[in-house]
Amino acid sequence: MTNQKAPTFRRSRAGLGFLAGIALAIAGQPVPSFATVPVDLELVLAVDVSGSMDREEAQMQRAGYVSALLDPKVLRAIRAGYHGRIAATYVEWSGWDYNEVITGWRLLDDEESVRVFSDVIAAAPLTRGRYTSISGAIEFSLPLFDTNTYESKRRVIDVSGDGPNNSGRLVLVARDEAIAAGITINGLPIVNERVDPFGWPQLPHLDLYYENCVIGGPRAFMVVAEGFHTFAAAIRKKLVIEIAGFMSGEGEWTGFGREPSFVPRAAHARPGPEPLHMVSGEVLPGPASLAEAVPPTCDAGEKMLQQRMMQWQWNLDQNR
């Protein structure tokens, strides 16, 4: 699962915008003007719909995003920015080759635009995949910034999920490519101790995995959801911080409490000396409650999948 060839992206806004316009015209959709509109944030919401979630959990996750987007605090955060508007798109992902744009880029600047954005997400059929490719979600998201009609100093991929990468390239490689392109990856790991629909346990300390292996870039942070029942509250807090909590359009700190630490990182460096870490809504200076825990390695998901496949093969051989 880890030796699949990754797609190659050409980072040309004009070229990709032209091709996107042709695709829209062929599909009978209105072709936008590619004159860029300044916004406070370009945000890709990249949401895990892999097989480790059952249908009820996938519905709870989708409902959590819809509920969070409609919260008045999110709209206030949008309006508090220098331009008073952001651009966002919502993508569901699973394996390396499974990425579905649920709603394309939309300008969010008032109650109506946010409601329409959330309504499209709520009305879309639930998509499901099999494997978990955080690296594939990052790779898919990167060119989306070059095909929209917006421009911002802050470009963020917001990755939420309940498991580690086990498909496509190693997550570190994709993360470092995003950092090199000036894009921040924030995380929302869904931590729980249940077994998945296939009977396998979850990766212990998924939050530490996200901290060490997934998040990265300028002012990267994560918010931890303790199970799917707390997901709506977690994503609401994360969106507010993401939109208005770190930097204003003029580059000034506008957050809550102390300013998070940030040091520019080279490729393959750990994604932050002390990232903002939130557990059950409480802001902590770091993963203090897990200070003595051993972080999973960044290939933990690939190793887990390999072990499971070996177990499946052994069971199959025994039943012959």
The CATH number linked to 97 is 3.40.50.410
Handedness of CA 240, 157, 298, 269 (dihedral sign): negative
C-alpha span between 189 and 231 (Å, rounded): 10
Indicate whether 91 belongs to any domain. Answer: yes
Which domain covers residue 300, as residue numbers?
Answer: 36-318
Residue 160's contacts (CB-CB under 8 Å, 6 or more residues apart) are 45, 46, 47, 48, 61, 187, 188, 189, 190, 225, 235
Please state, in angstroms and rounded to a whole number, the distance separating the CA atoms of residues 272 and 219: 8
In a domain, 300, yes or no: yes
Between residues 89 and 53, the one the model is more confident about:
89
Question: Where does the pLDDT of residue 296 fall: very low under 50, low under 70, confident under 90, or very high at 90 and above?
Answer: confident
Q: What is the Cα–Cα distance from 130 to 111, expressed in whole angstroms?
A: 36
| DSSP category for residue 260 | P
pLDDT at 171: 96
Residue 93 lies in a domain: yes
Confidence bin at 107 (pLDDT 50/70/90): very high
Quote the pLDDT of residue 183: 96
Give me the helix-helix angle, 72-79 and 231-240, nearest 10°.
Answer: 10
Report the predicted TM-score, pTM, of the whole model to 2 decimal places: 0.74
At 182-236, the pLDDT tens digits run: 999 999 998 876 655 555 666 778 889 999 999 999 889 999 988 777 888 999 9
Q: In this structure, are residues 96 and 167 in contact, taking their beta carbons and an 8 Å threshold?
A: yes
Domain-located, residue 23: no
CB of 113 closer than 8 Å to CB of 1: no
Asked if residue 192 is part of any domain, the answer here is yes
Sheet holding 86-93, edge to edge: 99-108, 86-93, 42-48, 155-161, 184-191, 222-226, 277-279, 282-284
Q: Which one has a higher pLDDT value, 202 or 317?
A: 202
Residue 288 lies in a domain: yes
Q: Over pLDDT 90: what percentage of the chain? A: 44
pLDDT in tens, 232-257: 899 998 999 888 755 444 334 344 33
Confidence of residue 284 (pLDDT cuts 50, 70, 90): very low
Q: Domain count for the chain, please give it.
A: 1
Inside any domain, residue 17: no
pLDDT at 31 over 50: no
In a domain, 66, yes or no: yes
The bridge status of strand 86-93 relative to strand 99-108 is antiparallel
**Tens digit of pLDDT for each residue in 36-50?**
899 999 999 999 998
